[in-house]
């Protein structure tokens, strides 16, 4: 073996940091995976010799482009759009589009890297990608959103397609934005094909796609608890976020007999000691998604609830925590507060919401920890099934799809157990997910030779 290929983790990470200066989120995501993979590969030189991890950590390509649009006051506005196509070893690139002012190349590279393992964990034929723009949808009119989406797709359409790359939604991109983008894709290409997922039911969308990520995260949490002989019934959860993932996770947690005591947005969190019931969760969904309101207004609408400006909910006593807002929203201090308050399980609905030190604290305390790439894979799984339905020109019923979602989450849990069970019977889900996802992609890459 050549000397340069026989490197240790520290040298590998030094190289990654040097090649990706200032890209903290990306380096963080690679480091988290590399720790487990280096250990796993100690007696498997074929992967090291073929530089598999190094190749997965170098996107196949990144497209960056200008997005020009006109606001309602006729000002010309200029944004930057991206698509990161990370890896298509096991299927077309797949991954959401994020519209948020903080979006940058580092964040999209971390998300596309994570997505590669997440897609692999589902067992479906999908690769990893991610895209988006530094566009802030907040406060924009309906026609401004439409014009932006159309302009964004006027460039993106060249790089996507049902067998090439199939984007979906993410933060700031819901069914409305997907509708505008799909309309523009169809108008430019003249083709009605499944080039996007998360579409409306009327034009090729899949039942339960909006629910899938949040429902799937709670199914994964239930599998982790059951493996320890516990269940959701009677447990109390703190949840962050109030968007697609958070509201559906809250809905399923309550349906399964649990109590949810918090939700949040970028302004702070609301604590409702009486619990968010079905009607209150629906109020949050309507208020945040359709009325574009702030979560602070919940405390004005419901007696007994309090709003905590600029704060996060991790100081509340709870049995389980479901971070469902954004990356790095739960740090070491929060993790220690959760553990001290009796939290027994953390399940990530968002992508990389826990910092690396927070993850270390959870692992050391021996509490259940479901990492996002496993726990929130339900969304991409149903997107994969949307692709299958589009290709077959069929639509399946909600009940059937929810059963398929449940089965996929149970299978992901089983894959994590296979590679993450320690000698004492406890489970390291981070290691299990990293190795199971890596192995599937890596074996396909080995079959292709040096490409
Ligand atoms: P939404 O846009 O529907 O909701 C995002 C939520 O997070 C909002 O409540 C938002 O509050 C909050 N938020 C955003 N930025 C911050 C911040 N800096 N601090 C605190 N809160 C913040 O997005 P989704 O629910 O779709 O996505 C949430 C997470 O789940 C993301 O990490 C995403 O990548 C991940 N995910 C989503 C999937 C999906 O199918 N949608 C699939 C897999 C993972 P505000 O309104 O104030 O901005």
As a whole number of angstroms, the distance between CA 320 and CA 20 comes to: 35
Of all residues in the chain, the percent with pLDDT exceeding 90 is 98
Of all residues in the chain, the percent with pLDDT exceeding 70 is 99
Residue 56 has pLDDT above 90, yes or no: yes
Known active-site residue 186: no
As a whole number of angstroms, the distance between CA 350 and CA 111 comes to: 11
Question: Do the two domains 61-192 and 210-375 of this chain adopt the same fold?
Answer: yes
As a whole number of angstroms, the distance between CA 329 and CA 341 comes to: 18
Average pLDDT over residues 162-175: 97
CATH superfamily name and code, 210-375? NAD(P)-binding Rossmann-like Domain (3.40.50.720)
Average pLDDT over residues 78-105: 98
Strands (E), 88-164: 93-99, 128-133
Per-residue confidence band for 3, with pLDDT thresholds at 50, 70 and 90: very low
Residue to substitute in 110, 325, 381 for testing ligand 1 pocket (most ligand atoms within 8 angstroms of CB) = 325
- Give the pLDDT score at 291: 83
- Give the pLDDT score at 6: 66
* Segments making up each domain of the chain, as ranges: 2-56, 61-192, 210-375
Q: Is 61-192 a CATH 1.25.40.20 domain?
A: no
The secondary structure of residue 61, as a DSSP letter, is E
Mean pLDDT computed over every residue of the chain: 97
Residue 378 has pLDDT above 80, yes or no: yes
Average pLDDT over residues 270-298: 95
246 Cα nearest atom in ligand 1: 25
Is the CB of residue 74 less than 8 Å from the CB of residue 105? no
Residue 4 has pLDDT above 50, yes or no: no
- Give the pLDDT score at 337: 98
Comparing CA positions, the residue from 419, 437, 360 lying closest to residue 113 is 437
Instruction: Please tell me the residue having the least CA distance from ligand 1 atom 21.
Output: 266
Residue 296 has pLDDT above 70, yes or no: yes
Per-residue confidence band for 290, with pLDDT thresholds at 50, 70 and 90: confident
Check if 245 has its Cβ closer than 6 Å to any atom of ligand 1. Answer: yes
Residue 200 has pLDDT above 50, yes or no: yes
Q: Per DSSP, what are the bridge partners of residue 69? A: 77
Task: Please provide the size of the chain in residues.
Answer: 451
Half-sphere exposure of 176 toward its Cβ, with a 13 Å CA cutoff?
16
Check if 95 has its Cβ closer than 6 Å to any atom of ligand 1. Answer: no
- Give the pLDDT score at 2: 39
How many angstroms is it from 191 CA to the middle of ligand 1? 31
Residue to substitute in 95, 241, 292, 377 for testing ligand 1 pocket (most ligand atoms within 8 angstroms of CB) = 241
Q: Which member of 94, 109, 118, 130 is catalytic? A: 130
As a whole number of angstroms, the distance between CA 404 and CA 209 comes to: 12
At 202-222, the pLDDT tens digits run 999 999 999 999 999 999 999
Comparing CA positions, the residue from 221, 264, 95 lying closest to residue 167 is 95
Q: Print the SS3 string covering 45-58.
A: HHHHHCCHHHHHCC
Rounded to the nearest angstrom, the gap between the alpha carbon of residue 382 and the centroid of all alpha carbons in its chain is 13
At 137-164, the pLDDT tens digits run 999 999 999 999 999 999 999 999 999 9
Average pLDDT over residues 66-78: 98
Residue to substitute in 109, 171, 329 for testing ligand 1 pocket (most ligand atoms within 8 angstroms of CB) = 171
Average pLDDT over residues 316-345: 98
- Give the pLDDT score at 5: 54
- Give the pLDDT score at 110: 97
Residue 1 has pLDDT above 60, yes or no: no
Residue 388 has pLDDT above 50, yes or no: yes
């Amino acid at each position: 073996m050549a000397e340069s290929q026989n490197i240790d983790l520290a040298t590998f990470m030094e190289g990654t940091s040097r090649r990706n200066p200032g890209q903290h989120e990306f380096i963080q995501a690679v480091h988290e995976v590399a720790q487990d993979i280096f250990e796993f590969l100690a007696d498997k030189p074929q992967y090291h010799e073929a530089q598999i991890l190094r190749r997965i950590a170098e996107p196949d390509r990144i497209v960056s482009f200008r997005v020009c649009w006109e606001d309602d006051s006729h000002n010309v506005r200029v944004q930057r759009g991206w698509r990161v196509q990370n890896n298509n070893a096991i299927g077309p690139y797949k991954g959401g589009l994020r519209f948020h002012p903080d979006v940058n190349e580092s964040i999209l590279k971390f998300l596309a890297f994570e997505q590669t393992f997440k897609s692999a964990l589902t067992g479906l034929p999908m690769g990893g990608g991610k895209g988006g723009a530094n566009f802030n949808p907040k406060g924009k009119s309906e026609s401004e959103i439409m014009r932006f989406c159309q302009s964004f797709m006027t460039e993106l359409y060249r790089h996507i397609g049902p067998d090439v790359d199939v984007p979906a939604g993410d933060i700031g991109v819901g069914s409305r934005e997907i509708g505008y983008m799909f309309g523009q894709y169809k108008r430019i290409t003249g083709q009605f094909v499944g080039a996007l997922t998360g579409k409306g039911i009327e034009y090729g969308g899949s039942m339960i796609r909006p629910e899938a990520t949040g429902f799937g995260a709670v199914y994964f949490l239930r599998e982790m608890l059951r493996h320890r002989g516990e269940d959701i019934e009677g447990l109390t959860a703190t949840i962050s976020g109030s968007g697609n993932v958070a509201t559906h996770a809250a809905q399923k947690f309550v349906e399964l007999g649990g109590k949810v005591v918090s939700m949040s947005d970028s302004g702070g969190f609301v604590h409702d000691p009486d619990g968010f019931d079905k009607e209150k969760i629906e109020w949050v969904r309507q208020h945040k998604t359709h009325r574009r309101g702030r979560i602070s207004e919940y405390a004005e609408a419901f007696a007994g609830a309090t709003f905590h400006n600029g704060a996060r909910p991790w100081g509340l006593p709870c049995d389980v925590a479901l971070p469902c807002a954004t990356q790095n929203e739960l740090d070491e201090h929060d993790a220690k507060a959760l553990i001290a308050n009796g939290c027994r399980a953390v399940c990530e609905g968002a992508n990389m919401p826990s910092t690396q030190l927070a993850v270390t604290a959870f692992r050391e305390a021996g509490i259940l920890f479901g990492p996002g790439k496993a726990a929130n894979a339900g969304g991409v799984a149903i997107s994969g099934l949307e692709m299958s339905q589009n290709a077959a020109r069929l639509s399946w019923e909600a009940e059937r799809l929810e059963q398929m979602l449940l089965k996929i989450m149970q299978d992901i849990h089983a894959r994590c157990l296979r590679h993450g069970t320690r000698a004492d019977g406890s489970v390291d889900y981070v290691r299990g997910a990293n190795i199971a996802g890596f192995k599937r992609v890596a074996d396909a890459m080995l079959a292709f030779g040096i490409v």
